[in-house]
Structure formats: C-alpha cells, structure tokens
C-alpha cells in the first residue's frame, strides 16, 4: 500500500521496533518475498536501503485470474461461437507443443514421458510418472488451473491434446479432478499411435459416468 519503504518506515507503519522489522524483513528476503533496493541519497552519508515486494511476493495477495480467464473463454464462445473457441484452444495447444518440441527431440517415449512431468512447472513435485503392465501414466496431484477446470472441463482438452501430439500416441484421462478423484491420471496408450503432423487439437471425450461440473 505504501510502496518501497525502509526498515524504519515499515516499523512505524506496523508499530514494530526497528530491530523487529529488520528481523522479519531478513526472513522475507531469504524466502524471496521482498528485495532490497538502494535509493539515491539527497545528502551526505550512505544511500538509504528500502524494501519492496518481489513478483513472487505480490502473488501472495488476492488475485482474480480465474474469473478473468473464465470471462474471456465464455465471451469467445458466446460472441463468436464454438468454432472460434476451438481455434483459440488449438492455438494454445500449438504454443505448448512449440515450446516442448525442441526439448523432446531425439528422446524415447519413456524419456519424453518423464520430461513431460514438468508440463506445468519445472521439477513439478506434484506430478509423477507411473508404469504398469499397460504402459505409462502421468499422475497430476495438483492442478494449477483447478478452479477454471472445475467450471469448464473442456479446457483440459488442451493438456490432453498437447500430450498426444508430443508423445505421438493417444492419451486419455482415466481419473479426473472433476469426478472427485482428487487427481488427474493421463494414460499414455503406447500401442495407439497418432499422426502428429495432422492432429492438432480435439475436445476430450467425457466418460458417461463423469460428474457434472459444479454449479456457478
């Protein structure tokens, strides 16, 4: 609310001692929430040191990205029709594929599956690779777009189509957050090849027993 402040300024705002403010700021800086900056001194002496929020720290405050994304998606569908929405989601899939293609070049299917564990985040601790007698699975225990996905499940087709194109085989979701499974499980069907040169995007087929989206 006040912008960059010195430790003394923060102490005054929060009714702390200056030393208490410095101790808290040191911890926040260590965790990457705030950063120090030197300001130009108007007189003699050392430049003043101020603290400001980092981009990571700013994300701790309330945001409304889900509502904005939902509005954009619905507006495209309502104003321009499902064909325009399909084109939009196809373009998003194309961007994802373009980003990953170079990283996966020359890798085996198993290596590509392991690499795509990071499809949402680098070194994603919430997505794991499993192998059983049927083949490989990507198990997603945390969906970074969960609020949006719960209300508009068709948007998850971007991830399914992206994985299909990058792996060159059919990918289906066997478990879904939308069905109350607490995770999404993407089954990689290694024996069902897909021509990635012709396939770009398709809406995911929703199972007959799938739970209806939550009411708005």
Residue range 85-94: mean pLDDT, rounded: 96
Between 43 and 146, whose confidence is greater? 146
- Which pLDDT score is estimated for 216? 42
- Which pLDDT score is estimated for 41? 58
Contacts of 107 (CB under 8 A, 6+ apart): 115
Q: In whole angstroms, what is the distance from residue 212 CA to residue 17 CA?
A: 54
Sign of CA dihedral 96, 102, 106, 110: negative
Token pair of 89 as six digits? 């989601």
Residue 57 pLDDT level (bands cut at 50, 70, 90): confident
Between 57 and 25, whose confidence is greater? 25
Q: What is the pTM of this model?
A: 0.74
Residue range 101-111: mean pLDDT, rounded: 95
On whether the CB atoms of residues 202 and 157 are closer than 8 A, the answer is: yes
Burial call 157-183: b when 16+ CB within 10 Å, e when fewer: bbbbbbbbbbbbbbbbbebbbbbeeee
Residue 194 pLDDT level (bands cut at 50, 70, 90): very high
Contacts of 204 (CB under 8 A, 6+ apart): 153, 154, 156, 157, 160, 172, 173
Domains and CATH numbers, the chain: 7-58 (1.10.10), 65-193 (3.30.1380)
Residue 1 pLDDT level (bands cut at 50, 70, 90): confident
Element (H, E) at 87: helix 82-104
Token pair of 151 as six digits? 């209300």
Model confidence at 30: pLDDT above 70: yes
Residue 60 pLDDT level (bands cut at 50, 70, 90): confident
Rounded mean pLDDT of the chain? 89
Among 194, 151, 150, smallest CA distance to 172 is for 194
On whether the CB atoms of residues 42 and 84 are closer than 8 A, the answer is: no
Residue range 89-111: mean pLDDT, rounded: 96
């Amino acid at each position: 609310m006040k912008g960059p402040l010195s430790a003394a300024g923060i102490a005054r705002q929060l009714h702390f001692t200056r030393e208490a403010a410095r101790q808290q700021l040191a911890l926040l800086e260590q965790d990457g929430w705030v950063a120090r900056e030197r300001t130009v001194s108007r007189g003699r002496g050392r430049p003043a040191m101020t603290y400001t929020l980092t981009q990571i720290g700013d994300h701790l405050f309330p945001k409304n990205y889900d509502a904005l994304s939902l509005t954009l998606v619905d507006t495209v569908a309502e104003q321009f029709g499902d064909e325009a929405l399909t084109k939009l989601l196809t373009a998003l899939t194309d961007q994802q594929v373009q980003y990953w293609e170079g990283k996966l070049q020359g890798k085996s299917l198993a290596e590509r599956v392991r690499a795509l564990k990071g499809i949402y985040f680098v070194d994603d601790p919430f997505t794991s690779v499993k192998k059983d007698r049927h083949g490989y699975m990507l198990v997603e225990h945390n969906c970074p777009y969960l609020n949006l996905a719960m209300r508009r499940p068709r948007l998850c087709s971007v991830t399914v189509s992206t994985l299909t194109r990058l792996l060159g085989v059919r990918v289906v979701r066997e478990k879904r957050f939308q069905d109350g499974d607490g995770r999404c499980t993407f089954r990689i069907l290694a024996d069902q090849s897909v021509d990635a040169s012709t396939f770009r995007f398709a809406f995911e087929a929703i199972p007959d027993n799938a739970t209806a989206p939550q009411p708005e």
